[in-house]
Amino acid sequence: MGLDDRPGARVVAVESNFVALEHLRANAETAGVSARVEVRASDGLPVPEPAWARAIELALVNPPTHPPEAELDRLLAGLAAWMLPGAPALCVVNRPGRAARHRCTGRVPVG
């Protein structure tokens, strides 16, 4: 399923690597969905603008491969401000025990 299957869907992509940012933009343009893909440069999640606050239905998170514990905490702590209550967040992890401690294996805690 892609954006073509969900005509009302929008994407916000947050990336700290400037080369990857350009690839994100180019891929969205090639796919013909650039008007619905917002690409942001940030090292971690910025505070969401009102239109995005508590509006994300699905988060796909690919944190750094071996981040210090504090960096992973910082990244995941900001996720709840973006998410609809109960929305899933799927994380790419190479240390499953660490992800479980951060509750990144199921639903994002919304407080």
CB atoms within 10 A of CB 58: 12
Whole-prediction pTM: 0.69
Give the tens place of pLDDT for each residue, 98-109.
Answer: 554 555 544 444
10 — pLDDT class (breaks 50, 70, 90): confident
Residues near 53 by Cβ (< 8 Å), separated by ≥ 6? 81, 82
pLDDT value at residue 101 = 52
Yes or no: say if 41 and 32 are a contact pair by the CB < 8 Å rule.
no
